[in-house]
Chains A and B, each alone.
Chain A
Amino acid sequence: METLTANSASTNESVSSVPTEREQNKKSRWKGFRKHSNLPVNESRAGLPPKRPKGIWRTLIQQKYLYLMSLPFVIWLFVFNYLPLWGWTMAFQNYKPAKSFSEQKWVGFDNFTRLFHDDQFYLVLRNTLAMSVLGLIFGFIVPIVFAILLNELRGMAFKRVTQTVSYLPHFVSWVVVAGIISNLLSMDGIINQLLVWLHIIDEPIQFMAKGTWFWGIVTASDIWKETGWNAIIYLAAITGIDKELYEAARVDGAGRFRQIWNITIPGIRSTIMVLFIMSIGHLLSIGFEKQMLLGNSLVTDYSQVLDLYALNYGIKIAHFSYGTAISMFNSVISIILLFSVNGLFKKFAKESIM
């Protein structure tokens, strides 16, 4: 019984964090432990001799349904997720679609050399990093602030309405959002009208046609679309905080800000950490949807991102090898980022996702 309580205590430790593979296993292993131990939890195995390891073929036959139910998807995963990695070989070839693999001409790192000597590439990388970092900072802080403020609301009806409405944009496609945003930001759109009315500007601004506005527009649209949705996790984590802590703090005379600072934020710290690591890992894979839909020919110097660059070079004009080199650069940097950030956090903050 000692181990049991210790175990459940350690699972409580990790309340309010994204399920990591390890935690999931921990949980299942714990279940397995209960199943195979002699604890009277499991009547059906009580009294039976301890299980001996069985031969592979016997388990295969015994668990044939489990294999039948998982094997097709393992194959599926292999084809759709792992085979594209094999496609990375194209980056080292002068890939010609008509030829078979053995007939392709190998060119070593030529495609990468070309990539790193391409001025356009650095522009694209700058744009990708700029929008990623902006998205990381704001897309990360705003949902936390929103969740905390929402949690502090007293009126239950207003709270529920605000929360429900805040998810709404998440369910709408980027196509629709891009349409809405360009409608709002057009010359006679509501934003320009408001700014003129408030005498902040004298003349309407052509937001969508100015490259310098583009990063801000993308970040703002992202915040508008995803804040409510991303706040769900934090709200759930806040709900898990012991209410007595707040009462104790109130008795000690702590105001609302003190309570937020000393109870709420520490209470969701591990959730924040885990989500932060994950978003850093996906820093370069910010996608291209918003950039492609909100961008136009006037702002390409600011809107072109790595994935779009790969699309334009790799697929539209069929430079498959060059496009693959771009995609590969993107993926490799993402994985390196993820592992190093995860490692750093593991070392200094004792939080990790792997």
Chain B
Amino acid sequence: MASSSKAFNATKGERTFDVINYILLGLVLVVTLYPFLNVLAISLNDSTDTVRGGIYIWPREFTLENYKTIFGYTSLVQGFKISILRTVIGTLLGLISSSMLAYTLSRPDFRSRRFVSVFLAMTMYFSGGMVPVYILMRDLHLLGTFGIYVLPGMVSAFNVFVIRSFIDGLPYALQESAKLDGANDFVIYYKIILPLCKPVLATIALFLAVGQWNSWFDTYLYNGNKPSLTTLQYELMKILDSTNQGSAMTNANDLANQMANVSPESIKMAITIVVTLPILIVYPFLQKYFVGGMTLGAVKA
């Protein structure tokens, strides 16, 4: 008798717990998703109508006019090109360098392995700081160049260690038999390790691509006065910034600033969607990889 009443209590408690849990996480779902739907709805709404307010998740006067308008701004189209270029080149460079370094670090017989590991791991804990890095970039003559987007971020210790722990999990016998067949270390890396590393490389590629696509501060700091090299995020930043702060225009020639003063809410939201869309399209497909990759980097299972 006692045990059955206990079980009954437990299920009742469990049910309340489940209901509360569902409500809580349902709220999380709404809070996370609503802002995006709201931005989308505003971007698809007629821009003069938007001023009246009250757009939530559905456009009141549907139009694609806002999107047509923003693709007429040359600075945005140019920014779009630079953003794509830096994302592609930055991701490729980052993938090649991290995987190559990771491979050498995974080789137990590599004589300088310990030194290189420590040399790399140290960089996770300190940084020179904004001003010394800025001076270095200036001394390397990287200010106002495209290289500043892709060179400084090429090797990140975290990415290297993630790839390395993946390689550590591969059977070493594969490399040994290749060696017996006369393959050198580079051929082993290229022909055996790289193809086997596809899942972890997909993860790192996603990290790198998102980082490249989303960064705006390097443009702001190093290339802000080079209209031919500004990125989409930077253009968006200028547009959102100037109206938020209500600050005076510092540069009268600044096209984006001029645009910002006349561009209504709907156009701003359309730009936001254009900036966000590529990532929204890509990430659900890569989800199974990056969850595995994060876990690989963080949890030894």
Query: Which residues from chain A sit less than 8 Å from chain B, CB to CB?
Result: 11, 14-19, 21, 23-25, 27-29, 31-32, 35, 42, 44, 56, 59-60, 63, 65-70, 73-74, 76-77, 79-88, 90, 97, 146, 149-150, 152-155, 158, 161-162, 164-169, 171-176, 178-180, 182-184, 188, 190, 208, 224, 227-228, 232-233, 236-237, 240, 250, 253, 255-257, 271, 281, 285, 289, 292-293, 296-297, 307, 310-311, 314-315, 320, 323-324, 326-328, 330-331, 334-335, 338
Contact = CB atoms under 8 A, between A and B. Distances in A.
A31 B132 contact: no
B200 to A, nearest CB: 13
Nearest to B153: A80
B245 A59 contact: no
Of B154, B214, B268, the most chain A CB neighbours within 10 A belong to B214
Contacts of A88: 128, 132
A183 B294 contact: no
B168 interface: yes
Interface string B130-148: 1111111010100000000
B257 interface: no
Contacts of B136: 79-80, 83-84, 87
A123 B298 CA distance: 36
Contacts of B299: 15-18, 233, 236-237, 240, 271
A16 B298 CA distance: 7
Contacts of A292: 217
Nearest to B108: A32
A168 B37 CA distance: 13
A31 B120 CA distance: 21
A21 B25 CA distance: 36
B262 interface: no
Contacts of B223: none
A166 B221 CA distance: 31
B100 A73 contact: yes
B192 interface: no
Contacts of A237: 299
A172 B101 contact: no
B18 A320 contact: no
A253 B287 CA distance: 37
Interface string B6-31: 10001001100110011011001101
A95 to B, nearest CB: 8
A224 B128 contact: no
B149 interface: no
A178 B118 CA distance: 37
Contact of A84 (B56, B128, B177): B128
A79 to B, nearest CB: 8
Contacts of A228: 32
A208 B245 CA distance: 9
A296 B245 contact: yes
Nearest to B24: A149
Given A87-B131, A224-B31, A331-B129, A150 B25 contact: yes
A260 to B, nearest CB: 10
Of A28, A79, A175, A323, the most chain B CB neighbours within 10 A belong to A175
A183 B130 contact: no
B77 interface: no
A14 B13 CA distance: 34
Of A11, A84, A182, the most chain B CB neighbours within 10 A belong to A84
Interface range for B = 35 or more
Contact of B108 (A21, A28, A176, A255): A28
Interface string B108-134: 111111101111110101111111111
A66 B104 CA distance: 6
A65 B56 CA distance: 59
A296 B272 contact: no
Contacts of A76: 97, 154-155
Contacts of B129: 84, 310, 324, 326-328, 330-331
A19 B216 contact: no
A14 B113 CA distance: 23
Nearest to B179: A44
Contacts of A331: 126-129
A293 B245 CA distance: 10
Nearest to B140: A79
B265 to A, nearest CB: 8
B102 to A, nearest CB: 10
A67 B138 CA distance: 30
Contacts of B49: none
Given A65-B185, A167-B283, A167-B287, A16 B131 contact: no
A134 B106 CA distance: 39
Interface string B199-211: 0000000000010
A177 B106 CA distance: 38
Contacts of A60: 111
B29 A293 contact: no
Nearest to A321: B131
B128 A85 contact: yes
B236 A314 contact: no
Contact of A323 (B10, B53, B131, B184): B131
B165 A19 contact: yes
Contacts of B233: 173, 175
